């Protein structure tokens, strides 16, 4: 494999780009880590996290300081990454998908994989899908542009917990359990390969599969796209994961700690090592990758921008604003917050049980939904922790900033068309993946290896 032709992107997002020695088309690898907070990596200042490989990528790549997910929770953030569209457009809300969810990422949404396929790319996903299974497993990745899939179809904790153990044999669950009737399966394309999945063996299975996929693509001189959404035990162990560092709150909230993520772009010889403060988002991956490959973008409203100026010319971002939707967005409340340049306005705030481990009471589940009029206003360059509200009678000079943000918010919301709520379609226990369908009693009868 020739890494001089591969772009890699790592995030809360990890992004590598290009690695084929003979094709003129770049290869793409996206490592999307589950529940990684802004302060979780050593290269982002964590005093004890041991992340030497990621730190090396950061040292030799481009590290982002102002990179955002589209959502503070799982399913909607994945939908936005793959489509370049806010989850409100695709309908991946409210909250996240469950094992028996009836809905999923709509098949009329276009993914990065589907954009690259017409150019001859080999495409694969390894890891956590969490964008629906559905009737006849219609929403799995092989129906969304991916040639190959090895992974679990939803979260590792969305199954019956034997003795409250999420990662057998000994890693305990601190979060929710018993969300499904069946044990968590390992899928190979649309087929259950193992149930229950052996979590201790999963890392090697994934790395072997990734190596085989990349090696086979290189032998065929075929450009490839590898999407590797990781799922790790760290958040459930409460030692790492979801750590916002100096940022306020964490998972489940629209404060910075809930949506600003570590991100690294790596392409030796092409991306100059360094740090960028340009604003960017997972939404920007679709147009960036399409632009680099020369692929046609779908004829729909996209919310992402090509990051090429940031990546290759140390230039400014085309993104002027970031829009913050809560876990369960609605047309009634609309946007909870807007960032325009260095300033961020909160129109609504709400805590989350997913941030209960942080000491700040504003982050907790007991911090109920609160409307702010005038909105809270923070200067994120001077005050990234969102401690000092500038929208007070003592600071009338910021009224012009608030008006600019109001105008941007109004224009964005006027153009937002909410798609049908896919998670809101509910669940059907018969849709939960079981390798021996219609067996009883569940979950013990759903067993295969």
Concatenate the DSSP letters of all residues of 191-202 into one string. EEEEBS--GGGH
Set 19, 43, 130, 346: catalytic member: 130
Tokens representing 303 are 């919310």
Q: Is the pLDDT of residue 79 over 50?
A: yes
Q: Are 395 and 66 in contact (CB under 8 A)?
A: no
The CA–CA distances, whole Å, from 39 to 44, 65, 177, 360, 414 equal: 6, 11, 27, 16, 35
Q: Is the pLDDT of residue 357 over 90?
A: no
Q: What is the pLDDT of residues 130-184, one digit of tens each?
A: 999 999 999 999 999 999 999 999 988 787 765 455 555 555 555 555 556 788 9
Summary count for the chain: helices (H), strands (E): 10, 18
Set 43, 74, 161, 166: catalytic member: 74
C-alpha closest to that of 97 among 49, 139, 69, 54: 139
- pTM of structure: 0.92
Q: Is the pLDDT of residue 405 over 70?
A: yes
C-alpha closest to that of 338 among 244, 408, 398, 260: 408
pLDDT at 232: 58
- Residues 66 and 383: their CA atoms lie apart, in Å, by 13
Tokens representing 286 are 């679709």
Lowest mean pLDDT among 57-66, 95-104, 225-234, 266-275: 225-234
C-alpha closest to that of 72 among 406, 382, 323: 323
- In the chain, pLDDT over 70 holds for what percent of residues? 88
Phi, psi (5° rounding) for residue 53?
A: -70, -40
pLDDT at 286: 97
Confirm whether 177 is a catalytic residue: no
Confirm whether 74 is a catalytic residue: yes
């Amino acid at each position: 494999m020739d890494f001089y032709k591969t772009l890699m992107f790592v995030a809360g997002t990890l992004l590598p780009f290009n690695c084929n020695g003979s094709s003129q088309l770049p290869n793409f690898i996206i490592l999307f880590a589950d529940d990684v907070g802004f302060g979780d990596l050593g290269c982002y200042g964590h005093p004890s996290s041991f992340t030497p490989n990621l730190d090396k990528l950061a040292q030799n790549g481009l590290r982002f300081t102002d990179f955002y997910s589209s959502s503070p929770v799982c399913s909607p953030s994945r939908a936005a990454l793959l489509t370049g569209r806010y989850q409100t457009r695709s309908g991946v809300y409210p909250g996240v998908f469950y094992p028996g969810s009836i809905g999923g990422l709509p098949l009329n949404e276009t993914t990065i994989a589907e954009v690259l396929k017409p150019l001859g790319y080999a495409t694969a996903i390894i890891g956590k899908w969490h964008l629906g299974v559905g009737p006849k497993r219609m929403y799995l990745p092989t129906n969304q542009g991916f040639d190959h899939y090895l992974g679990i179809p939803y979260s590792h904790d969305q199954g019956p917990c034997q003795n409250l153990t999420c990662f057998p044999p000994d890693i305990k669950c601190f979060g929710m359990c018993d969300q499904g009737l069946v044990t968590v399966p390992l899928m190979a394309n649309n087929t259950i390969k193992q149930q229950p999945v052996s979590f201790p063996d999963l890392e090697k299975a994934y790395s072997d599969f990734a190596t085989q996929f990349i090696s086979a693509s290189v032998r065929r001189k075929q450009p490839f796209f590898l999407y590797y959404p990781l799922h790790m035990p760290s958040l459930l162990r409460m030692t790492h994961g979801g750590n916002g560092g100096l940022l306020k709150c964490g998972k489940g909230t629209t404060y910075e700690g809930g949506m600003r993520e570590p991100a690294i772009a790596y392409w030796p010889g092409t991306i100059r090592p360094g740090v960028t403060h340009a604003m960017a988002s997972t939404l920007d991956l679709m147009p960036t990758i399409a632009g680099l490959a020369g692929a046609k973008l779908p004829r729909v409203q996209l919310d992402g921008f090509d990051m090429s100026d940031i990546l290759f010319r140390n230039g400014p971002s085309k993104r002027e604003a970031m829009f913050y939707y809560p876990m369960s967005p609605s047309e009634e409340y609309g946007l909870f917050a807007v960032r325009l340049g260095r300033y961020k306005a909160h129109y609504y705030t709400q805590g989350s049980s997913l941030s209960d481990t942080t000491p700040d009471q504003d982050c907790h589940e007991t911090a109920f939904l609160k409307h702010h009029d005038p909105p809270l206003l923070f200067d994120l360059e001077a005050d990234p922790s969102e401690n000092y509200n500038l929208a007070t009678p003592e600071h009338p000079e910021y009224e012009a900033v608030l008006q600019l943000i109001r105008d941007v918010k109004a224009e964005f919301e006027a153009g937002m068309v909410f798609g049908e709520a896919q998670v809101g379609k509910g669940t059907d226990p018969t849709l939960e993946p079981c390798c021996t369908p219609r067996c009883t009693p569940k979950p013990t009868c759903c067993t295969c290896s």
